[in-house]
Structure 1
Amino acid sequence: MPLLSHEHRAWIDEAVRRVEADANRSADTHLHVVPLPGPGGIDLYLKDESVHPTGSLKHRLARSLFLYSLCNGWLNAGSTVVEASSGSTAVSEAYFARLVGLPFVAVMPRSTSPEKIKLIEWYGGRCHFVEEAGEVYDEARRVAAECDGHYMDQFTYAERATDWRGNNNIAESIFQQLSRERHPVPAWVVVSAGTGGTSATIGRYLHYKRHPTRLLVADPENSAFLDGWRLDTSEHTTGLPSRIEGIGRPRVEPSFVGGVIDDMLRVPDAASIATMRWVSDRLGRAVGGSTGTNVWASLQVIERMRAAGEAGSVVTLLCDAGERYASTYYDDAWLAEHGIDLAPYAAALAEYDATGVLPTV
């Protein structure tokens, strides 16, 4: 391999400086207490990743992927950055591409919400559509080769681009923010998986710090992660797209690290969306569908803890804001078109509010 030119090295140094300066300007994300009905003793917290500059948890991933690619020498002043995404990662990568002065192309399913498409384009990115979610990988490679660009490949590199031992990653941040709470070491952390990078980072951190905290990963309908984990295979596929944008995949992605996970739970799409609306009402602000997935799974964990007479805290993630889904999850006509009936889960959550007990649906 030829030596890096002085110009290339100088460009990398400046690009890294810009990305690091952006992080230095950004405050940490908030940790909200979610009021719960029923007996006390268990606290639920939402780590609010929607307050990042690009409005989602994927801002952390995009920053890490850009630093990883820059420090590996994979990007230069003439690179076109290409990514396969269901939307939010592409929004955040478009932001960082603009920050370092590179063009960006997002390869996405045509079903991606119009709100996310507008954000990608607002940051200067270009959207390239495929019909099926499983087509994004090969098409992103093809687009990158065609324009002599660099395929970021979040689904492969998410688990290794972030320093899981600390360095202000999401896990370290959660524990620092809980340090003065009545249950500073959570009983459970609940997340969902898109790439698997967040669950890998949090799970490794828990093991590294020897915390007794357990990690549960919530998986939406049609996703391959849960069955792949149960079968202990990375070869499992469903061939079906997730209807909860940003989480769930038709295959077990390379960044999914099953060995750090203590439990997994399947969450029906109707439960995710009904709980999304329930959380929005409690917070007084709209949240996205994957937040509903996380909170529904967290409520199941809390019911288990109460049944066992346990006290403690449960932490999960507010992944992004609901404005990105105004034309989908918040649109009753869209739900009817896609055969998603919220009524059983909305009724269960209403009963939970009234009695403090979440019934089985």
Structure 2
Amino acid sequence: MSVVSRGQDRPWIREAIHLIEADTNRSADTHLFPLRLWPDDRGVDVYLKDESTHPTGSLKHRLARSLFLYGLCNGWIQEGTTIVEASSGSTAISEAYFARMLGLPFIAVMPASTSVQKIALIEREQGRCHLVSDAAMVYPEAHRLAAATGGHYMDQFTYAERATDWRGNNNIAESIFSQMALERHPVPAWVVVGAGTGGTSATIGRYLRYRQHDSALCVVDPEGSAFHRSWSTGDPQAAGANSRIEGIGRPQVEPSFLPDVVDRMISVPDAASIAAMQFLHALTGRRAGASTGTNLWGAIQLACELVAADRRGSIVTLICDGGDRYTDTYYSPAWLAATGINPRPSAEFLRRAVDTATWPSADAIP
């Protein structure tokens, strides 16, 4: 009778974890910079944490790192394991980076409509893109490929909230509070993030409670997304639409979204997300993606509300990724026209709000 040792891959797993930790150690933390909204002091400070400076260019670098460590420590990822993910965007790019680092095959399952630009970024990391004609089949196909290859399906939407250690260990929440320590309002009144998997909001919301901070968590959500609908109605089965704002918003509530750690949600029109993205570029020269615009729209609304209430404090939000990935979409007037998105009325609304430090009623939002 043969005996199989389940610990035979332990040396390889130790080396894999060491490689990931060494990569993290080489990378300085992402920069937190103040956004100067007003020339005079209104008592409210807005900060953006620039997650586009990660080696793979987005916030999803943190998620991919956590998912790999989670899979390694659970024994799901071993030497030679094929890594499979259902993603056509930043998560796939970041996971391909770590798979390449560990010498593992990587397959991203995505709709056939995925942009050539995104496919090229994944293939640059030696990942393989598996295209499906029916977008609804992306997840079943990822399951099938993982089973067929004897691989591991990362399943970001299920494991995002549990893969990151929300108590600390250099997660994004701990990083924010460490960087805010010497500011005049070190404990933010609000932390503002979007939700794609829900992992970032879960990590931050849990951390705020664990560390007993008075900060509140606001999740901003693109128009039509199921997250806002579910949170506002209390219906975990609420359905929505596919989001035009890449990286955030979902047609269904994902397992990693934890509504009970969210203090407030704001639904942001797609045109407003684009307008805020353009506003950031005009104000700072930084080109970011539209999900950053969604974040900024919510942060400016909350800043105006603090000013109106004569409250002093700070607000922290995120630059999710850089704008170079979106030259053919969000930064293209032709693409905006073809999709029927006109950011101009929202841009005028936002400029008035910033100029007056007053946020009009929701009925006035274009």
Scaled by the length of structure 2, what TM-score is found?
A: 0.94
User: Could you tell me which residue of structure 1 aligns to residue 242 of structure 2?
Assistant: 241
What letter is aligned with 2:48?
A: L
Distance 1:298 1:185 in 2: 15
Deviation at 1:283, TM superposition (A): 1.8
1:72 corresponds to which residue? 74
The yes-or-no answer on 1:309 pairing with 2:310 is yes
1:10 corresponds in structure 2 to 11
1:176 aligns with 2:178: yes
Residue 163 of structure 1 is matched in structure 2 by: 165
Is the 2:80–2:103 Cα contact (8 Å) retained in structure 1? Answer: no
Letter of the 2:312 counterpart: A
After the TM superposition, which residues 187-202 of structure 1 pair with which residues of structure 2 at under 5 Å, given as runs? Answer: 187-202=189-204
Residue correspondence of structure 1 range 35-184 to structure 2 within 5 A: 35-37=36-38, 40-131=42-133, 133-184=135-186
- Give yes or no for contact 1:112–1:245 (8 Å, CA) kept in 2: no
Whole-angstrom distance in 2 between the partners of 1:245 and 1:308: 33
Query: 2:71 is paired with a residue of what secondary structure?
Result: helix
> In the aligned structure 1, how far is the partner of 2:311 from the partner of 2:88?
38
**Separation in 1 of the partners of 2:194 and 2:223?**
12
- The one-letter code matched in structure 2 to 1:200 is A
| Amino acid in the other structure paired with 1:289 | A
Post-superposition offset of 1:115: 2.6
Structure 1 letter corresponding to 2:288: V
- Kindly indicate whether the alpha-carbon contact (under 8 Å) linking 2:88 and 2:118 is maintained by their aligned counterparts in 1: no
Q: Is 1:348–1:358's contact at 8 Å kept on the other side of the alignment?
A: no
**CA distance 1:28–1:232, shift in 2 (3 Å):** same
Listed as ranges, the gaps of 5+ residues in structure 1 are none
Equivalent residues, number: 359
C-alpha deviation, 1:146, in angstroms: 2.2
Distance apart, 1:307 and its partner CA: 1.6
Q: Percent identity?
A: 61
Asked whether the 8 Å contact 1:107–1:140 carries over to 2, the reply is yes
What's the counterpart of residue 270 of structure 2?
A: 269
Report deviation, 1:111. 4.0
1:237 touches 1:250 (CA, 8 Å); kept in 2?
A: yes
Mark the CA change 1:263 to 1:355 in structure 2 (over 3 Å): closer, same or farther. closer
Aligned residues of 2:33 and 2:49 also touching (Cα < 8 A): yes
1:219, 1:137 → 2: CA distance? 23
Q: CA deviation at 1:353?
A: 5.0
Q: Which amino acid aligns with 1:4?
A: R
Q: Distance in 1 between matches of 2:311 and 2:355?
A: 22
TM-score (norm 1): 0.95
